[in-house]
Amino acid sequence: MSGFSGASGTGGKPKSEKVTFTDRYVLKRTIEIAEALHSRYGVDRKHYAIAVAVAEDKNGSSHKLISSSEGAQTGGKMRPDVQHLAPPQADETIVDGFQHAERNIVSFVMSNGWTLKSIGVTMPVCAECQIAIGLYEIRAVTIEREPIQAK
Ligand SMILES: [Zn+2]
């Protein structure tokens, strides 16, 4: 396995806020997908942003969502080779869309009347996506650096 050691948050919540189950899933899965992208594309992984999120519906049920930034090339889906390396799980919904991955998810969450609880992205978040995510008063977990390779 490669060595993504963690992730950093930007904006939003105060640092003292406890890490929820939702955040732990998002962190783990974002690292897993970033590792899959890295093993396939190396440093070029940053050409392909994938976002992982948890949203809550009006009944309080959680929904796990994954989206990719390359809707125009892949019909809104994750790249097949990345799907192979980090396969979607049975309880995850792939969100189609043609915007940045983060905004695909925010649009989907809004159109369902849900609330975004946590989101992770395999690379730094652009200003427009930060604003969209900020509507839910959360910060994105992002994977910014390449993994440290064991020697
Ligand atoms: Zn963006």
52 part of a folded domain: yes
61 part of a folded domain: yes
For the whole prediction, is pTM greater than 0.75?
yes
35 part of a folded domain: yes
105 part of a folded domain: yes
Any residues with CB less than 8 A from the CB of 80 and at least 6 apart, and which?
none
CATH number at residue 68: 3.40.140
What does the alpha-carbon distance between residue 23 and residue 99 come to, in Å, rounded to a whole number?
Answer: 23
Which pLDDT score is estimated for 3? 63
For residues 90-120, b (16+ Cβ closer than 10 Å) or e, as one string?
eeeeebebebbbbbbbbbbbeeeebbbbbbb
C-alpha 130 to ligand 1 mean position (Å): 7
Q: What is the pLDDT of residues 82-99, one digit of tens each?
A: 888 888 899 999 898 888
Contact 123/142 with Cβ under 8 angstroms? yes
C-alpha 42 to ligand 1 mean position (Å): 21
63 part of a folded domain: yes
Q: Where are the alpha helices (DSSP H) in the chain?
A: 21-41, 71-74, 80-85, 101-112, 127-134
How many structural domains comprise the chain? Answer: 1
Domain hosting residue 68, numbered range:
8-142
93 part of a folded domain: yes
C-alpha 102 to ligand 1 mean position (Å): 6
Q: What is the pLDDT of residues 4-41, one digit of tens each?
A: 655 655 444 445 556 678 889 999 999 999 999 999 89
Which pLDDT score is estimated for 85? 83
1 part of a folded domain: no
C-alpha 87 to ligand 1 mean position (Å): 23
Least Cα distance to 127 among 26, 8, 10 occurs for 10
148 part of a folded domain: no
